[in-house]
Amino acid sequence: MRILGIDPGLAATGYGVIDCADGRSTLIEGGVITTDKHKPLAERIEQIHREMSELIEEFRPDSMAVEDLYTSYRHPRTAVLMGHARGVMFLAAAQQGTPVAGYSPARLKKAITGNGSASKRQVQLMVQTILGLGQPPTPDHVADALAAALCHGASIGA
């Protein structure tokens, strides 16, 4: 089973593609989609949609796992902007028939580290260990995306 994990963001969206088989997970690719904060919102959203569509088309995941938005933001405008970015990611998946699952940040951390309030560094180190990588995945957006993919794989028994 191939899973595309996503750590959504308007400025930087982390992604990670893994294959799961026989209780083992293998890294296929990880990276970051970045947008220019000086460009209009519509252009940034279109870029995220286009690049997400290209990732789904290239890797043909069986499913996509996306980190949910935080339940509370100090600045509500941030949540609205994140919602725009997350929405076009879901749209890209739906347009290509890819099922999407969402997971809270605490659930992802607990699934990967055993602690729902683990630090970013702890998540990076556990993702490194689980995937047998020579070094922790960076930046942390990629580690979070891979954590989403690994959490989904574990939750569906892949």
Query: Is a pLDDT exceeding 70 seen at residue 72?
Result: no
Q: Encoding tokens for residue 143? A: 């580690």
> Backbone dihedral region of 23: left (phi > 0), alpha (psi from -120 to 50 degrees) or beta?
left
pLDDT score recorded for residue 4: 98
Evaluate whether 89 touches 48 at the Cβ level (below 8 Å).
yes
Dist CA 133 CA 59 (whole Å): 20
Share of the chain above pLDDT 70, in %: 97
- What's the pTM? 0.94
In whole angstroms, what separates CA 124 from the centre of its chain? 13
- What domains are there in the chain, each with its CATH number? 2-155 (3.30.420.10)
pLDDT score recorded for residue 79: 79
Query: Is a pLDDT exceeding 60 seen at residue 71?
Result: no
pLDDT score recorded for residue 69: 79
pLDDT digits (tens, 9 = 90+) for 41-59: 999 999 999 999 999 999 9
In DSSP terms, which residues pair with 27 in a beta bridge? Answer: 18
